[in-house]
Amino acid sequence: MLKLSKMKTFYSILSVVINPVSGEKVSLGLLLSDGNTSLFDFSDNRFSLVGSLIDKERKKFVRQYLRSVENVIKKIDVNQDQLTILDGEGKNLIINEAYIGYLSTYSQNVISFSKPVAIDVKVENSVFEALFSRFIDEETAVETSRKNSIQLIKNDFFPRVQNHFATEKEFTPEKYPKVILPITIDLFGKNEIYVMGQFLDLEKSIFYIKSDFFNYYQLAELYSESKKFLISHEPQKDKYPQQHYFWSEIRKQKGHSFVDISELEIIEKYAEKHQVMPV
């Protein structure tokens, strides 16, 4: 019978790819393992932040991936024959340095592990917590505590209007032939007319803002007689000059009502007054 040699302890950082072209990433989680014992966790705050920077499908994939890693680590049982285990979706996930190193080189364009770093310690909670604090919680390159994070605001607002709007509703060319590309709209309901609302995070790169606005514009053209809300906030002019110009322009445009994120009760009151229902 094959005997396993003692493995070195290593850690690897799990990151979400925000921009596949530039390679921009956000560190999300940490894996500490010696091949037999593994510890893994991720930051809820960072996941919320990531959710505001990527589209809904990639966010869903990231969430499933995180759950898969957690489930595998909970039930992993290294035996003499293999170092693999089947997760709930029937895919092999191997917890050892060689495989994590492979993933760091041949990663997907959505989520990736960093190259494993060997460390001469035991796999213990105290060690894991120290590494997690150093590489995830205390990394200042990402503004995890942004008070005006659009995603955090959406997470709070959506339950308040769930009786009036479908939230993050998807429109696909298969179901809606006039739609050119798949669209996700943040708020969609109907009274005597259709009512829609779209959040715009104007502290994202201008590339993503264009994409988000195109989604809104495509649907606004399709439902031209609808009531439309564009929801955002004023970005810092010196830090985000292009985004600030865009903000000033959309506030002037007719055809929709601009609502600042500090005034979301405007939408709530409209929905209640006009008895808007989810569609």
How far apart are the C-alpha atoms of 154 and 167, rounded to whole Å? 10
How far apart are the C-alpha atoms of 82 and 89, rounded to whole Å? 19
> What's the domain range around 115?
10-137
Phi, psi dihedrals of residue 60, rounded to the nearest 5°: -65, -40
Closest C-alpha among 217, 164, 222 to residue 188 = 164
Cβ atoms of residues 123 and 33 within 8 Å = yes
Cβ atoms of residues 97 and 35 within 8 Å = yes
| Residue ending a domain, choose from 106, 137, 168 | 137
| Residue ending a domain, choose from 116, 137, 158 | 137
How far apart are the C-alpha atoms of 247 and 234, rounded to whole Å? 7
The number of helix segments (H) and strand segments (E) in the chain equals 8, 13
Phi, psi dihedrals of residue 31, rounded to the nearest 5°: -115, 130
Kindly report, residue by residue over 207-251, the tens digit of the pLDDT: 778 888 888 988 999 999 999 999 999 988 888 899 999 999 999
Quote the pLDDT of residue 5: 44
**Cα→Cα distances 259→132, 264, 279, Å:** 38, 7, 22
Quote the pLDDT of residue 187: 97
DSSP 18-47: EETTTTEEEEEEEEEE-SSSEEEEE-HHHH
The rounded average pLDDT for each run of 10 residues, N- to C-terminus, in the chain (279 residues) is 57 86 81 86 81 80 84 56 38 54 60 87 89 72 47 87 95 87 92 94 84 87 93 89 93 92 94 96
Residue 4 falls within a domain, yes or no? no
Looking at the structure, do residues 229 and 171 belong to the same domain, yes or no?
Answer: yes
**Cα→Cα distances 191→159, 165, 188, 276, Å:** 19, 11, 11, 5
Instruction: Report how far apart the first and last C-alpha atoms of the chain are (Å, whole number).
Output: 61
Question: pTM of the full predicted structure?
Answer: 0.50
How far apart are the C-alpha atoms of 6 and 37, rounded to whole Å? 12
Residue 181 falls within a domain, yes or no? yes
How far apart are the C-alpha atoms of 157 and 272, rounded to whole Å? 15
Residue 5 falls within a domain, yes or no? no
Residue 145 falls within a domain, yes or no? no
Q: What is the CB neighbour count within 10 angstroms for residue 23? A: 10
Quote the pLDDT of residue 277: 97
**Cα→Cα distances 102→9, 26, 55, 121, Å:** 17, 20, 26, 23
Q: How many folded domains does the chain comprise?
A: 2
| Residue ending a domain, choose from 115, 137, 159 | 137
